[in-house]
Amino acid sequence: MKLNRELVGNHAPDFELPGIDGEVYHLGRYRENFQAIAVIMIGNQCPQTIKYLDRLKEIQAQFASKKFTIVAINSNDSANNLKESFADMKAFAADNELNFPYLCDPNQDVAKSFGAQVSPEVFLLDNNAVIRYVGQIDDNADSSEAVQNQYLKDSISNLLSEKKITTTGTKPVGTPIKWRKK
């Protein structure tokens, strides 16, 4: 699996996507209101995503008052994958009490433009939409107690306090995005 470290330092692609709440989300509006944005590719059926949901909600709660937000995006092809439809996304968000926006990438353009490969896969952006970190949430999906490297949390903390991000990229681990058949 390719490491997207070469994306770090480049501008993230702009996007405008529908959210499960009926709103349309535009990256430009996030840049105006937040100092850091974690764009995270997730999937309703991805075991890794499910293992990380509580940690993601904790990260959102911990940093929300510091002008940070998570924006989760589902780019899986819903036509060929059960339980990845927009209605399923709504149910998934409600069942898991997500505290961050959950957007649908129906044409998979956003995932492709970010170079996303798996879910979950993190792209941490600053308020200029410059990608500052790419990769894993932390180093142990199976056990939050066994985590030794909190890549996303540490990167958010450093970004918000204007310190250097020491680890700018890690190899993403998760379920491959379900691409449309051509």
Place of tokens 């990438």: 105
CB 89 within 8 A of CB 102: yes
Q: How many CA atoms lie within 13 A of 149 on its CB side?
A: 12
Domain residue ranges of the chain, discontinuous segments joined by + = 4-176
Partners of 125 in the β-ladder: 37, 131
DSSP string, 83-124: T-SHHHHHHHHHHTT--S-EEE-TT-HHHHHHT--EESEEEE
Q: Which of 3.40.50.1950, 3.40.50.300, 3.40.30.10, 3.40.718.10 would CATH assign to domain 4-176?
A: 3.40.30.10
CB 126 within 8 A of CB 35: yes
In angstroms, rounded to a whole number, what is the distance separating the alpha carbons of residues 170 and 135?
5
Helix 47-63 and helix 151-160, axial crossing angle in degrees, nearest 10: 30
Q: 112-126: string of b/e by CB count within 10 Å (b at 16+)?
A: eebebbbbbbbbbbb
Q: Tell me which residues of the chain have a pLDDT lower than 70.
A: 1-5
At residue 5, the pLDDT reads 59
At residue 109, the pLDDT reads 96
Q: Angle at the Cα of 77 (from 75 to 81), degrees rounded to 5?
A: 125
Burial of 31 (C-beta count, 10 Å sphere; 0-12/13-18/19+) = middle
At residue 70, the pLDDT reads 98
At residue 2, the pLDDT reads 44
